[in-house]
Amino acid sequence: MKKLQSLLIGILAIILILFLGVHQLEKASGMAGADTLTIYNWGDYIDPDLLRKFEKESGYKVNYETFDSNEAMFTKIQQGGTAYDITIPSEYMIQKMMKEKMLLPIDQKKLKGLENLDERFLNLDFDPQNHYSIPYFWGTLGIIYNDKFIGEDEIKHWDDLWKPKLKDNVMLIDGAREVLGLSLNSLGYSLNSKNNQELRQATDKLNNLTTNVKAIVADEIKMYMINEESAAAVTFSGEAAEMLDGNEHLHYVIPSEGSNLWFDNIVIPKTAKNIKGSYDFINFMLRPDNAAQNAEYIGYSTPNKAAKKLLPAEISSDEQFYPNDEVIKNLEVYEDLGAKYLGIYNDLFLEFKMYRK
């Protein structure tokens, strides 16, 4: 009997140790209790001072993790393990997460400051009525160029990237949708094309661009362009804003024939533990003062019309980053292509990369 009692006590002790170990792990990773808010966001995509301000005002401890692509974010949340309370995907990924039932519906009755948002950025096709997401930032894809190497009148369209003058002097962002998209737009096609003939044409045209392509990179574009290591590059508007601050010879242009209009929105994953904290954070970011501070720090365009009024005039009136409606109407939002065509885009992009070698 004593042996049995000892065995039972030993089992209970092991269970207790395991329980305490799991609890400590959860606590260390910021997943325990309602006092922590776990945010999953793009790298350098919020002013750190705002996170400290939110912690001070709300009493929450913020556990902040970053990702470098929508796909990486999707995979990690789908796999589980970390209960993220907030994440900030792009529009096509929001569509995908909605289809996969990975998001909690937004209770708009709990929101304070929704009226601060520009109506143009609400009720969009990827999330009608904003049932699952709240606008965070928006922007465009375009060309940044250095006027020391190429004139303003020489770089207004996607086709200008193919000019012999730019041999070994163009940098491309490392993204299948972006690179295939610019070629599709240059041919007059949609950047969401599912027409195999159009995609083949776009890839063949890209293959003819290889002599001009100096590199296919990501964040490094900022440093290269500021240091004048290339005449032109394809990049996002917010990245371009940082580059313009670093070099007065740089300029950003949105090709008139069409480009990408993108949106990053705040969502609440279905695995969230601190729902109240999620709404507190969304309301905090809807405040005009906080949204304006964030926009100045990040350089991307704010969808918060009340915040835009607080920005310096040289920012809010700059049509490179706040284009007028005439320009916006020629832009397209990325759609969720589905697994089949996403694979085709990735394969064609890889073909283009291999062709360069």
Architecture category of domain 35-138+263-316 in CATH: 3-Layer(aba) Sandwich (3.40)
* Binding site members: 92
Q: What is the CATH superfamily name and number for domain 139-261+323-356?
A: Periplasmic binding protein-like II (3.40.190.10)
96-133 confidence digits (pLDDT tens): 999 999 999 999 999 999 999 999 999 999 999 999 99
Contact at 8 Å (CB) between 247 and 146? yes
52-81 confidence digits (pLDDT tens): 999 999 999 999 999 988 999 999 999 988
290-305 confidence digits (pLDDT tens): 999 999 999 899 999 9
Q: Tokens 């290591």 correspond to what residue?
A: 229
- Is the pTM value of this prediction over 0.75? yes
The domain spans of the chain are 35-138+263-316, 139-261+323-356
**For position 312, what pLDDT does the model report?**
95
How far is the C-alpha of 332 from the C-alpha of 182, rounded, in Å? 11
User: Is residue 243 scored above 80 in pLDDT?
Assistant: yes
What is the percent of the chain with per-residue pLDDT over 90, rounded to a whole number? 81
User: Is residue 85 scored above 70 in pLDDT?
Assistant: yes
**For position 216, what pLDDT does the model report?**
95
Is 139-261+323-356 the same fold as 35-138+263-316?
yes
* Binding site members for spermidine: 92
How far is the C-alpha of 233 from the C-alpha of 230, rounded, in Å? 7
Q: Give all strands of the β-sheet with 86-87 in edge-to-edge order.
A: 61-67, 36-42, 86-87
User: Is residue 1 scored above 50 in pLDDT?
Assistant: no
